[in-house]
Structure 1
Amino acid sequence: MTSELDARERAARATDVLPVADALRRRPTVRVGDDVDPGWREALGAWARSHGLEVTEQDATLVITSDPARAGGAAWVHSPNAGVERLASTLSESALLTRTTGTMPPRIAEYVLTWVLAERWHVAWYLNRSATATWDRSEPPLPPRRQEAVVIGTGAMGSAIARTLGALGYRVVGLSRTGRHDDAFDVVLPLDEAVSTQSGSPSATTFDGARADVLVLALPHTPQTDGLVKPALLRAFDGVHLVNIGRGSAVRTTTLVDALDAGSVRHATLDVVEQEPLPASSPLWRRPDVTVTPHVSGLTLASDVVGALDAALTEIRAGVRPSSAVVRDRGY
């Protein structure tokens, strides 16, 4: 199965970009969708002009947008965001689709590190005591019970998280659809084998969720990742701190609440949730074992978009498929 996936990816990456390069030569035009942050327009316009591209409000060879309805028949569509689920599922297969990653991986890794340490050091508890002028040493910060972290999703975000947690002393296990080796992780295992029953003592290459102190979800939204983190997977853990920075669709709210109630998850830090904004009626707001932040871990900067466009244009003009190009079968 893995070899078939690899073959499809190689074929997708080998797609000829010469037609896109030719279209840019014939019509060097770019349109910035009206869904793009207005504060970025000046920087994007300056980038386009510096590369001989005319900014237009008409149909263009390159369209910068996250909305497929605004893409028109562009030969090249660039998403200003990392998530491309809407574009990947609806754009014409002939259109080249690229996305923005930029400085998001290290900033998301910093977010994960912040909340892993905050939970370990009982920051919320101490802030409450500080606000009430209470000197109380009854909840001293403790080292992690287990020095292992599991990261589901081994792309750019997951790899940056793995390096950061590794520098903190964690042994980091990656779970991915292929189990392909990545130097950022101590070991990478296929996700579909992660919950298989193990006999005897776990080896260095055997998944054992009970050894993990931290579980990070770094998954994009695709049909394959929708609801991917199922109850059986969470039951493999024993009081883990779950941090979700990918997409809220990866784990159902009911599944997460059940895992919290059962103790397989001791705390959940959620930057993404199934429904955003999270309704005030959601039970997640009222649980002391849940921390919610409003999807802020990987906010895109104008410089990220400009950098991604610059790199992609250079590769296209050289006849090379951009490294930021989306593989449609994967959706990222």
Structure 2
Amino acid sequence: MTSRSAGPGPAVPDLADTLRRRPTVRLGADVDPAWRAALAEWALSNGLEVTDGDATLAITTNPTQAARAAWVHSPFAGVEHLAPTLPDDVVLTRTTGTMPGRIAEYVLTWVLAERWQVARYLAQSTTAAWDASNPPASPDRREAVVVGTGAMGAAIARTLAALGYRVVGLSRTGRPDGAFDAVLPLAEAFGPAESGAAESRRAAPGPATPEPLTHGLSTGVAQVFDPARADVLVLALPHTPQTDGLITPALLRAFERVHLVNIGRGSAVRTATLLDALDTGRVRHATLDVVEREPLEASSPLWRRPDVTITPHVSGLTLPSDVVACLDAALTAIRAGSRPASAVARDRGY
């Protein structure tokens, strides 16, 4: 199996012709048994024969199961196991479906739960304690930052905006998106602080090494973005070599008592980096649906901190109907000779 190139991906017309000549699909051994009937029914209704051997389309997250397929579809949003290994001439698509809406609901739930001190009142309920001191209050800073402005990030931005937040998106390109009040390139927003990202990504997990805060905002950027004003910081990043360890200690020190919510990939922020930010008060609370190593080991200090909430990677569970809908849209586009909206850009890995 050859390695991929840095290009955006293969042309589609060749795949459309292959599908006409060999309309076959293979369901990978890793596909949830409960989904197989729905996927087989989808294949049959679209004139595709399900086979256990080589096929034109492979539905799988396992590169071995995808061998010799011209089109590979991931039944999940993440493609980190597939994108770096598939040959250049393979079309790779992924599933999003209704996942962005569910993830936005998750973020809304925990932003409100933290603001309304839900954990505190649940604990008081179990001990019959009536304590009305320090009641919940609306945040002084109605600003939120979402790192990652794809479908997930945009849904989160719209949901937070409905709560009255001004939402700034940070992305690789800074391409405008109507879901956000402003979108900035991450490098422009934090400037020289990102020079430390490569070193952070190379470092083995361990105690965070203090770094001087070197970010400096240009006058134009400072008018629309000041991390110190943010009440909520949401990480909605995929796992790629570029996002691995992207959230550095220096970057987090630009914030002041922010609520960090990570629904993307745990690799974006090192555990040591997060613990340092919690200890210094730059992050007042961390809600983590993803962590650096999953499942999170029982010995992790994250379990024992009252300023950390952990959920077991449940914010964006994929439904079989999501997989069928994404496959249907992709197949329609391919048969028309168009690039599917769900196609992965191989140079970016998402």
The letter of the residue matching 1:73 is R
What is residue 161 of structure 2 aligned with on the other side? 166
Indicate whether 1:286 and 2:304 are aligned. yes
The Cα of 1:101 is off from its aligned counterpart by 0.3
What is residue 124 of structure 1 aligned with on the other side? 119
The letter of the residue matching 2:29 is D
Indicate whether 1:97 and 2:115 are aligned. no
What is residue 239 of structure 2 aligned with on the other side? 221
Alignment CA distance shift 1:67-1:137 (3 Å): same
For these two proteins, the number of residue pairs brought into alignment is: 322
Residue 157 of structure 1 is aligned with which of 152, 155, 158? Answer: 152
The Cα of 1:145 is off from its aligned counterpart by 2.6
What is residue 4 of structure 1 aligned with on the other side? none
Identity %: 74
Spell out the pairing of 1:251-290 with structure 2 (5 A cutoff): 251-290=269-308
The letter of the residue matching 1:151 is V
C-alpha contact 1:244 1:270 (8 A) present in aligned 2? yes
The Cα of 1:252 is off from its aligned counterpart by 0.2
Alignment CA distance shift 1:50-1:280 (3 Å): same
The letter of the residue matching 1:28 is P
Aligned-partner SS, 1:34: coil
Indicate whether 1:48 and 2:43 are aligned. yes
Spell out the pairing of 1:21-100 with structure 2 (5 A cutoff): 21-100=16-95
Alignment CA distance shift 1:129-1:319 (3 Å): same
What is residue 211 of structure 1 aligned with on the other side? 229
Aligned-partner SS, 1:86: coil
C-alpha contact 1:194 1:233 (8 A) present in aligned 2? no
> Can you list the C-alpha shifts for 1:36-55, whole angstroms capped at 9, x where unaligned?
11000000000000001011
Cα separation, 2, equivalents of 1:233 and 1:243: 15
The Cα of 1:132 is off from its aligned counterpart by 1.2
Aligned-partner SS, 2:245: coil
Indicate whether 1:317 and 2:335 are aligned. yes
Alignment CA distance shift 1:201-1:327 (3 Å): closer
Cα separation, 2, equivalents of 1:138 and 1:118: 17
C-alpha contact 2:271 2:292 (8 A) present in aligned 1? yes
The letter of the residue matching 1:75 is A
Runs of 4+ more than 4 Å apart: 199-203
> Can you list the C-alpha shifts for 1:141-186, whole angstroms capped at 9, x where unaligned?
1101310000000000000000000011000000011111110000
C-alpha contact 2:189 2:217 (8 A) present in aligned 1? no
What is residue 3 of structure 1 aligned with on the other side? none
Aligned Cα RMSD in Å?
1.5
C-alpha contact 1:149 1:173 (8 A) present in aligned 2? yes
Indicate whether 1:142 and 2:161 are aligned. no
Gaps of 5+ in 1: 1-7
The letter of the residue matching 2:272 is T
The Cα of 1:217 is off from its aligned counterpart by 0.2
Cα separation, 2, equivalents of 1:42 and 1:201: 55
Cα separation, 2, equivalents of 1:193 and 1:283: 34
Residue 178 of structure 2 is aligned with which of 183, 193, 208? Answer: 183
Cα separation, 2, equivalents of 1:197 and 1:308: 42
C-alpha contact 1:242 1:267 (8 A) present in aligned 2? yes
Cα separation, 2, equivalents of 1:199 and 1:299: 40
What is residue 319 of structure 2 aligned with on the other side? 301
Indicate whether 1:330 and 2:314 are aligned. no
> Can you list the C-alpha shifts for 1:236-275, whole angstroms capped at 9, x where unaligned?
0000000000000000000000000000000000000000
The Cα of 1:201 is off from its aligned counterpart by 10
C-alpha contact 2:188 2:217 (8 A) present in aligned 1? no
Indicate whether 1:246 and 2:290 are aligned. no
The letter of the residue matching 1:311 is A
Cα separation, 1, equivalents of 2:252 and 2:140: 18
> Can you list the C-alpha shifts for 1:179-213, whole angstroms capped at 9, x where unaligned?
111100000011012223137897433x3111000
Cα separation, 2, equivalents of 1:190 and 1:202: 10
Alignment CA distance shift 1:202-1:55 (3 Å): closer
The letter of the residue matching 1:331 is G
What is residue 212 of structure 2 aligned with on the other side? none
Cα separation, 2, equivalents of 1:301 and 1:249: 24
The letter of the residue matching 2:341 is S
Cα separation, 1, equivalents of 2:50 and 2:221: 58
Alignment CA distance shift 1:42-1:148 (3 Å): same
Alignment CA distance shift 1:167-1:204 (3 Å): farther
Alignment CA distance shift 1:325-1:287 (3 Å): same
Aligned-partner SS, 1:21: helix
